[in-house]
Amino acid sequence: MTFEINKTEYIAVIAGMDCLPRINEDEFIDPSYIELAQKAATDHFANRFSKLFKDNQEKYELFLGNNHIQKQLSKWQLDPIKFWYLHLFIVDYATDAFRGVTIFEELSTKQYIEKLIKSLEKTDIENFCLDIRINKEKLSTRNPWVGVALLSALKQDFPFDWVNKNTFVSKDIKEDIERYTTARMKFSTELYSHFFDQYLHKSQRGRKSFIGKFLYLADLTRDERYWYGCKPTLEKFCKKYEIAQYQKIMVEGVEYIAIPFDVGKDLSDHIKKCTMIPQVRHSFYFSPVDE
């Protein structure tokens, strides 16, 4: 697919709201700043489009072949290609917003020692490498026997209160796959919701369920119920009332009973505990007009 600037209309809508510094409801942003943010975002997307489209080629075919998605877009009077552009933009922006983000985990002394023990126990002896920084002095070794000695010492009983003197451990958010995925899922959901707020009446139902299909396409969930909007279940595993009451669907040529599943509720429950804030200033899509 060749990039077309006139297909970035939906991206511009989001860029004018979410690619600028957040403001209070009573504050005013000069329209020229909004236009600059929209141009910066669409220009960067234009540079990224070829790779993004290639990486998501198979997902694009799934998108085009999903009758529910296409019928819903038609019902909402939304252009399918413009919406696919928007999807690629949201996926890329949500990834950018959590690039290089450091997270901190508070551990008790006991938990921290146990974490060290587990790390040493699963260490590959052949590729052993240990770096320790004590104040300003850094010690490094590739001798696995040092690791064995350290592990032995850590497993001893120590005569102090384990629960006091908590320790903060830092790591890149990508090292915590679940938190990284949930954070991007939450931010993506917010971006889609902001777009729908501009194009659909707030009483319009089914938004979250629709968003769930795109979270599945973005690999932010592997739960196929998000894609199908139900729980496809073989008839032999269903109760009689389920067979009689619920409609049937075809999945890869096999007939299933479509057991109801509330995608919107499941999505809301999943992301509501996420406290990670997207670091949008890390992204090339962001326009820091306040600086």
Same domain, 182 and 77: yes
Is 33 in contact with 289 (CB distance < 8 Å)?
yes
The type of residue at 256 is Y
Q: What is the mean pLDDT of each run of 10 residues along the chain (291 residues)?
A: 95 92 69 90 96 97 96 96 98 90 63 77 79 78 81 68 55 73 96 94 87 97 96 95 95 95 96 89 78 48
Same domain, 122 and 16: no
Same domain, 248 and 132: no
Query: With b meaning 16 or more CB within 10 Å and e meaning fewer, what string describes 37-74?
Result: bbebbbebbeebbeebbeebeebbeebeeeeebeebbe
Same domain, 50 and 189: yes
Same domain, 38 and 181: yes
**Element holding 278 (H helix, E strand):** none
Sequential DSSP letters for 55-94: HTHHHHHHHHH-HHHHHHHHHTT--HHHHHHHHHHHHHHH
Same domain, 74 and 187: yes
Domain limits for position 149: 109-165
Has residue 41 been placed in a domain? Answer: yes
Q: What local confidence, expressed as pLDDT, does residue 52 receive?
A: 97
Domain boundary among 222, 238, 258: 222
Q: How many domains does the chain have?
A: 3
Nearest to 208 by CA among 236, 194, 189, 232: 189
Same domain, 17 and 92: yes
Domain boundary among 191, 206, 222: 222
Same domain, 21 and 139: no
Same domain, 88 and 180: yes
Same domain, 185 and 136: no
Same domain, 147 and 71: no
Same domain, 44 and 122: no
